[in-house]
């Protein structure tokens, strides 16, 4: 590919990736922005609204919920991931196939069924219910992702440690976990982002008192007559943690994430 | 406890979770789809009603078209960008980072960005007016809440092409170069190398990533809900309307559609699984 | 006219302290197999890549069959290359791989293509493998397909970059013979690269020993045996017996003894005397004497270290000569295995 063609493609790609960010940023410091002005009338009034009760509690709810989901998701997916990755047994492929299902079946086709089942189980319209709902879409995918990390190498390390007489708990703590730490970090990041981005499950299954940021934002966005500056500001606050997480783990994701995709998360 | 027992224990919480929070809801939907509003069993009547209705078929066609166009366009863009990216040094890290960021961005954020950018009173429209390309706000193409689903498609493509791109890039940065060098030393020119050596190498990874993109675009709710028109809805939005919105409520139809969506996507899982096992088999 | 002519090839990578290739010149005649032999890092693979067109040299010219290859990409040069890894195209069958070059370049019609492919597969010992999938082949079979594929491109010069180094030891022998057989039957000129001197000896007409980007010595295998050009060459070919000596006229004097070497071209003064470990003969019946210090068994003989005065001499002694550590053994040395070298340049 000729160098100038390459450079043009890259420039266009960069532009395309960054351009949609521009109006969002501009609206966040706007007072009014009418067609056909290229820039709005500036006023950072919307940022003052951030101190308000609604946004603060929504942010805290989102953080709390996502943190809980990440911890539980990892706890639930590490044992099966290790079993899947380190050992060979019959039915392995069947289990892998089974775990793929929640990745493919969309939330919308399951969430209302969840509503009635959870009602029977008594967890509908509760926070544990939301956590449960989010976990079911996360744990299978995380298990598959992590099973790629728990490869033959980890099995070998474990075997050696046990041969040296190291007990199960200490093997986990000093041998296995450090070996899979990069993969765990990536999974934790993906899990957090998955939970953070979730709107449908939280809105349908969660109690009315649980207003996470997406639950707060979605009605504002869909009503169409709400003030864009406010929406823009809250959206930026909502998008920021993702950005921060990625900066810190980008190098890890580039390695293991792409490898997992190469293997098709299988 | 024996090894097998221990292993079963490792899977137990996961399987229990899936059974309670996933399998049961799916089965519940299925059961309810075979009943009428009063809860009486009516067999496949609801299915017949829905499958023969205009609105469903239209919505299905609409959703499939969006998913298909998204997949194809995202695939082409991803391959081109990946090919450009693999040889570059400057800006590569930034683009890679932005790729990851795009993929991880929450859907509603992406949707909002697109609304602000693409609406008839949005930034691009203002720019077009200023450059003299359009004469008024209304002359700018209808991209948000349009009946052709363009806004939805653009948002999907923008959000998903990096996913395919990363997948393809992974292959390109692997052994691919060595194979191309080999082909060159066998006297095969650049263009032929591209079609006969490079493309077959990236095809498996591209196909796998593209299937995931198709499934995602097919089943998504948030983006079509925010960017779609009220006269032309995707299946996901339809389901929501039929279930939640009091004015359009039709519970049996909603259950039928939920079950149908699940079935269609389960078929995709099999395709995906087939592709991945074939790829792994070829690699071994 | 020679098939390959290298004139003063220099190669320096950007930012490298030392050049990778230094003013290297070489000629290869039609039908020859010439091997570039050397330790890793000596530049042999880089040189091959320069000839192939995969790298561009910093200076000097590559002339293949009379045509200057300057700035020509690999696909336009009359070469074909076999790499250390076979790089077979996994989406194609064996037949499709082998016929890759003429098939894509449309240089043969369907019928000829099929016949030639069959012939080529027979030549590498893989008759009937046409429809096999590439993934079902063993390492040795894969390399043979790679070789057949390269030959089908009908190159004037075939380049082979350590093609056998990834294979099992026992497989190498038959593969080496195959390479020689192909060269005899097809007359293809080959430039071979390896770090294994046994492989080089088995395969080549001439060997070019490389070190630090230059050709140290070029000649037949016997030349390296009897007349290595310096201590490095001697050691590379398995001669560890190098003793400081003094040359006066035709006599070489060293602690081991006095040797008559009328053909030694070196100046009088300090030299090195080299003794091949295979040069021992007339055991228990020779003019030299030594105490056996160490016996290490090998596959066909033993490696014994004898102490002759202050010198430690390594000899290969056949199994039919009984030995025990500590005893004194007398022996003679065959003059074909004794040579003198300039001092320095270890």
Cβ-Cβ contacts under 8 Å for B210 (sequence gap 6 or more) = B71, B74, B75, B164
Instruction: Supply φ then ψ for residue C34, to 5 degrees.
Output: -110, 135
Whether pLDDT at C18 is above 70:
yes
Mutation target among B104, B122, B245, B268 for the A interface, most CBs of A within 10 A: B104
The per-residue pLDDT for range B112-155, each reduced to its tens digit, is 999 999 888 888 888 888 888 878 777 788 888 888 889 999 99
Domain tally, chain B? 1
Asked if B87 is an interface residue toward chain C (Cβ–Cβ < 8 A), one would say: no
The 8-class DSSP code of residue B35 comes to B
The per-residue pLDDT for range C58-76, each reduced to its tens digit, is 999 999 999 999 889 999 9
pLDDT score of C88:
95
The per-residue pLDDT for range B235-276, each reduced to its tens digit, is 999 999 888 888 878 888 899 999 999 888 888 888 888 888
Cβ atoms of B147 and A45 within 8 Å: the answer is no
Chain C residues with CB under 8 Å of B190 CB are 75
pLDDT score of B70:
96
Tokens of A89: 């047994």
Instruction: State how far the Cα of A172 lies from the Cα of B10, in Å rounded to an integer.
Output: 15
H or E element at residue A178? helix A177-197
Q: Does residue C84 sit in the same domain as residue C148?
A: yes
pLDDT score of B107:
93
The per-residue pLDDT for range A205-223, each reduced to its tens digit, is 989 888 899 998 999 888 8
pLDDT score of B280:
64
H or E element at residue A32? strand A30-32
Is pLDDT larger for residue A87 or for residue B261?
A: B261
Helix (H, G, I), strand (E, B) or coil at A29: coil
pLDDT score of A54:
84
Axis-axis angle for helices A152-163, A177-197 (nearest 10): 140
Check CB contact under 8 Å for B185 and C52: yes
Cβ atoms of C302 and C317 within 8 Å: the answer is yes
- The answer to which of A94-98, B276-280, C147-151 has the lowest mean pLDDT is B276-280
Is pLDDT larger for residue A153 or for residue C136?
A: C136
Place of tokens 């990946």: B82
Check CB contact under 8 Å for B178 and C87: yes
> What does the pLDDT average to over B9-27?
85
Of C53, C79, C83, the CB nearest to B182: C83
Whether pLDDT at A142 is above 60:
yes
Closest-CA residue in chain A for B129?
A36
Closest-CA residue in chain B for C106?
B188
CATH number reported for the structural domain that contains residue C16 in this entry: 3.40.50.300
pLDDT score of A251:
67
Whether pLDDT at A259 is above 50:
no
**What does pTM read for this prediction?**
0.82
Q: Does residue C124 sit in the same domain as residue C189?
A: yes
Confidence of residue A257 (pLDDT cuts 50, 70, 90): very low
Asked if A262 is an interface residue toward chain B (Cβ–Cβ < 8 A), one would say: yes
In a domain, B16, yes or no: no
- The answer to which of A56-60, A79-83, B130-134, C47-51 has the lowest mean pLDDT is B130-134
Task: For chain B, give the percent of residues with pLDDT over 70.
Answer: 95
- The answer to which of A30-39, B218-227, C113-122 has the lowest mean pLDDT is A30-39
Asked if B254 is an interface residue toward chain C (Cβ–Cβ < 8 A), one would say: no
Confidence of residue A263 (pLDDT cuts 50, 70, 90): very low
> What does the pLDDT average to over C221-250?
89
- The answer to which of B7-11, B150-154, C127-131, C247-251 has the lowest mean pLDDT is B7-11
The yes-or-no reply on C/B contact (3 CB pairs or more, < 8 Å) is yes
Cβ atoms of B198 and B87 within 8 Å: the answer is no
| Enclosing domain of residue B218 | 43-283
The per-residue pLDDT for range C81-117, each reduced to its tens digit, is 999 999 999 889 999 999 999 999 998 899 999 999 9
Of B178, B184, B282, the CB nearest to C75: B184
pLDDT score of A254:
58
Whether pLDDT at A159 is above 70:
yes
pLDDT score of B248:
78
pLDDT score of B221:
94
Q: Does residue C127 sit in the same domain as residue C248?
A: no
Distance from CA of A19 to the nearest CA of B (A): 8
> What does the pLDDT average to over C11-16?
87
Of A10, A19, A116, the CB nearest to B88: A10
Check CB contact under 8 Å for A136 and B102: no
H or E element at residue B277? helix B251-283
Tokens of C268: 């009088």
Tokens of A193: 């982002």
Q: Does residue C241 sit in the same domain as residue C222?
A: no
In a domain, B262, yes or no: yes
Q: Does residue C198 sit in the same domain as residue C104?
A: yes
H or E element at residue A158? helix A152-163
> What does the pLDDT average to over C172-179?
92
Check CB contact under 8 Å for C153 and B187: yes
- The answer to which of A159-168, A217-226, C12-21 has the lowest mean pLDDT is A217-226
pLDDT score of A262:
39
Distance from CA of C80 to the nearest CA of B (A): 5
pLDDT score of C115:
93
Place of tokens 């340049």: C345
Whether pLDDT at A264 is above 60:
no
Closest-CA residue in chain A for B273?
A97
pLDDT score of A246:
82
H or E element at residue A41? strand A41-42
Write down which residue in C171, C195, C226 finishes a domain. Answer: C226
Residues of A (184-223) whose Cβ lies below 8 Å from B: 190, 193, 196-197, 199-200, 214, 217-218, 221-222
Helix (H, G, I), strand (E, B) or coil at B228: strand
Chain B residues with CB under 8 Å of A80 CB are 10-11, 14
Q: Which CATH class is domain A58-262?
A: mainly alpha
Cβ-Cβ contacts under 8 Å for C92 (sequence gap 6 or more) = C100, C134
Instruction: State how far the Cα of A234 lies from the Cα of C11, in Å rounded to an integer.
Output: 59
Check CB contact under 8 Å for A199 and B222: yes
| Enclosing domain of residue C107 | 4-226
Write down which residue in C166, C198, C226 finishes a domain. Answer: C226
The per-residue pLDDT for range B49-84, each reduced to its tens digit, is 888 888 899 999 999 999 999 999 999 999 999 988
CATH number reported for the structural domain that contains residue C276 in this entry: 2.40.50.140
Closest-CA residue in chain A for B20?
A117
Tokens of C1: 């006219």
Confidence of residue C193 (pLDDT cuts 50, 70, 90): very high
Is pLDDT larger for residue B280 or for residue C99?
A: C99
Task: For chain C, give the mean pLDDT.
Answer: 90
Domain tally, chain C? 2
Give the Å distances, CA to CA, from A36 to A256, B124, B232, C105, C190.
45, 10, 29, 57, 71
- Chains sharing 3 or more CB pairs under 8 A with chain A: B
pLDDT score of A261:
44
Asked if B178 is an interface residue toward chain C (Cβ–Cβ < 8 A), one would say: yes
> What does the pLDDT average to over A101-123?
87
CATH number reported for the structural domain that contains residue B53 in this entry: 1.10.3720.10
Distance from CA of B140 to the nearest CA of A (A): 12
Tokens of C201: 């000896």
pLDDT score of A151:
78
Q: Does residue C188 sit in the same domain as residue C330?
A: no
ipTM of the complex: 0.86
Question: Would you kindly state where each structural domain of chain A is located, as residue ranges?
Answer: 1-43, 58-262
> What does the pLDDT average to over B206-211?
90
Mutation target among B175, B178, B181, B185 for the C interface, most CBs of C within 10 A: B185
Whether pLDDT at A30 is above 90:
no
In a domain, B29, yes or no: no
Write down which residue in C176, C199, C226 finishes a domain. Answer: C226
Axis-axis angle for helices A127-149, B3-18 (nearest 10): 140
Instruction: State how far the Cα of C258 lies from the Cα of C261, in Å rounded to an integer.
Output: 10
Distance from CA of B190 to the nearest CA of C (A): 8
Asked if B179 is an interface residue toward chain C (Cβ–Cβ < 8 A), one would say: yes
In a domain, B219, yes or no: yes
Instruction: State how far the Cα of A10 lies from the Cα of C93, in Å rounded to an integer.
Output: 37
Whether pLDDT at A81 is above 80:
yes
Place of tokens 């009760």: A53
Q: What is the 3-state secondary structure (H, E, C) of chain C?
A: CCCEEEEEEEECCCCCCCCCEEEEEEEECCCCEEEEECCCCCCHHHHHHHHHCCCCCCEEEEEECCEECCCCCHHHCCEEEECCCCCCCCCCEHHHHHCHHHHHHCCCCHHHHHHHHHHHHHHCCCCCCCCCEHHHCCHHHHHHHHHHHHHHCCCCEEEEECCCCCCCHHHHHHHHHHHHHHHHHHCCEEEEEECCHHHHHHHCCEEEEEECCEEEEEECHHHHHHCCCCHHHHHHCCCCEEEEEEEECCEEEECCEEEECCCCCCCCEEEEEEECHHHEECCCCCCEEEEEEEEEECCCEEEEEEEECCEEEEEEEECCCCCCCCCEEEEEECHHHEEEEECCCC
Closest-CA residue in chain B for A113?
B25
Cβ atoms of B106 and A16 within 8 Å: the answer is no
């Amino acid at each position: 590919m000729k160098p100038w063609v390459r450079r043009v493609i890259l420039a266009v790609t960069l532009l395309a990736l960054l351009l949609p960010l521009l109006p969002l940023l501009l609206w966040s410091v706007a007072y009014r922005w009418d067609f056909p002005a290229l820039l709005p009338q500036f006023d950072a009034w919307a940022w003052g609204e951030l101190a308000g009760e609604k946004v603060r509690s929504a942010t805290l709810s989102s953080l709390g919920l996502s943190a809980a989901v990440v911890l539980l998701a990892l706890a639930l997916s590490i044992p099966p991931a290790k079993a899947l990755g380190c050992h060979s047994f019959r039915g392995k492929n069947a289990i892998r196939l089974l775990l793929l299902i929640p990745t493919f079946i969309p939330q919308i086709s399951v969430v209302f069924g969840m509503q009635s089942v959870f009602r029977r189980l008594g967890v509908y319209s509760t926070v544990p219910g939301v956590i449960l709902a989010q976990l079911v879409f996360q744990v299978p995918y995380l298990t598959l992702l992590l099973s790629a990390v728990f490869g033959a190498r980890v099995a070998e390390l474990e075997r050696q440690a046990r041969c040296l007489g190291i007990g199960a708990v200490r093997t986990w703590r000093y041998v296995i976990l450090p070996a899979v730490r990069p993969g765990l970090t990536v999974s934790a990041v993906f899990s957090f982002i998955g939970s953070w981005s979730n709107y449908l499950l939280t809105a349908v299954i969660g109690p009315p008192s649980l207003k996470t940021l997406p639950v707060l934002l979605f009605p504002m966005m869909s009503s169409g007559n709400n003030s864009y500056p406010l929406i823009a500001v809250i959206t930026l606050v909502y998008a920021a943690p993702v950005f921060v997480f990625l900066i810190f783990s980008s190098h890890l994701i580039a390695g293991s994430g792409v490898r997992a995709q190469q293997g098709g998360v299988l | 406890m024996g090894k097998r027992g221990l292993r079963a224990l490792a899977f137990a919480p996961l399987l229990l979770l899936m059974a309670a929070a996933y399998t049961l809801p799916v089965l519940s939907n299925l059961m309810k789809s075979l009943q009428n509003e009063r809860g009486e069993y009516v067999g496949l009547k609801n299915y017949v009603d829905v499958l023969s209705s205009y609105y469903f078929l239209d919505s299905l066609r609409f959703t499939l078209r969006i998913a298909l166009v998204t997949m194809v366009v995202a695939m082409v863009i991803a391959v081109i960008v990946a090919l450009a990216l693999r040889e570059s040094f400057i800006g590569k890290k930034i683009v890679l980072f932005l790729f990851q960021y795009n993929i991880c961005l929450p859907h509603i954020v992406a949707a909002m960005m697109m609304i602000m950018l693409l609406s008839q009173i949005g930034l691009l429209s203002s720019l077009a007016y200023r450059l003299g390309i359009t004469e008024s706000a209304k002359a700018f193409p209808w991209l948000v809440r349009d009946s052709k689903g363009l806004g939805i498609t653009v948002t999907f493509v923008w959000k998903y092409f990096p996913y395919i791109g990363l997948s393809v890039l992974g292959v390109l940065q692997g052994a691919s170069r060595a194979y191309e060098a080999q082909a060159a030393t066998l006297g095969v020119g650049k263009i032929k190398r591209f079609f006969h050596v490079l493309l077959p190498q990236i095809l498996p990874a591209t196909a796998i990533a593209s299937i995931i993109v198709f499934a995602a675009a097919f089943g998504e709710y948030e983006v079509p809900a925010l960017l779609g028109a009220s006269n032309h809805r995707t299946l996901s939005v339809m389901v929501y309307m039929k279930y939640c919105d009091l004015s359009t409520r039709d519970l049996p139809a909603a259950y039928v559609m939920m079950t149908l969506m699940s079935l269609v996507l389960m078929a995709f899982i099999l395709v995906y699984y087939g592709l991945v096992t074939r790829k792994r088999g070829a690699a071994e | 006219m020679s098939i390959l002519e290298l004139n003063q090839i220099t190669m320096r990578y950007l930012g490298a302290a030392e050049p990778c290739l230094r003013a290297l010149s070489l000629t290869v005649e039609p039908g020859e197999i010439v091997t570039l032999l050397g330790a890793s890092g000596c530049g042999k693979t880089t040189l091959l890549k320069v000839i192939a067109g995969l790298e561009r040299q910093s200076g000097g010219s590559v002339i293949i069959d009379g045509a200057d290859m300057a700035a020509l990409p690999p696909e336009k040069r009359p070469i074909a290359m076999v790499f250390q890894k076979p790089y077979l195209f996994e989406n194609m069958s064996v037949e499709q791989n082998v016929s890759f070059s003429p098939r894509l370049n449309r240089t043969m019609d369907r019928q000829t293509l099929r016949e030639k492919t069959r012939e080529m597969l027979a030549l590498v010992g893989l008759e009937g493998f046409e429809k096999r999938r590439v993934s079902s082949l063993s390492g040795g079979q894969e390399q043979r397909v790679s070789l057949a594929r390269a030959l089908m491109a009908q190159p004037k010069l075939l380049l082979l970059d350590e093609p056998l180094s990834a294979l099992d030891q026992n497989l190498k022998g038959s593969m080496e013979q195959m390479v020689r057989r192909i060269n005899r039957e097809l007359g293809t000129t080959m430039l071979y690269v390896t770090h294994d001197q046994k492989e080089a000896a088995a395969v080549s007409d001439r060997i070019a020993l490389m070190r630090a980007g230059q050709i140290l010595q070029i000649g037949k295998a016997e030349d390296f045996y009897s007349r290595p050009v310096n201590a490095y060459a001697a050691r590379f070919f398995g001669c560890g017996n190098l003793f400081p000596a003094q040359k006066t006229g035709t006599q070489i004097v060293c602690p081991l003894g006095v040797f008559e070497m009328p053909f030694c071209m070196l100046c009088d003064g300090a030299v090195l005397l080299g003794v091949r470990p295979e040069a021992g003969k007339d055991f228990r019946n020779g003019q030299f004497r030594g105490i056996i210090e160490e016996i290490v068994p090998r596959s066909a003989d033993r490696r014994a270290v004898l102490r002759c005065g202050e010198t430690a001499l390594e000899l290969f002694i056949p199994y039919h000569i009984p030995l025990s550590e500590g005893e004194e053994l007398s022996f003679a040395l065959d003059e074909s295995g004794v040579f003198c070298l300039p001092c320095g340049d270890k």
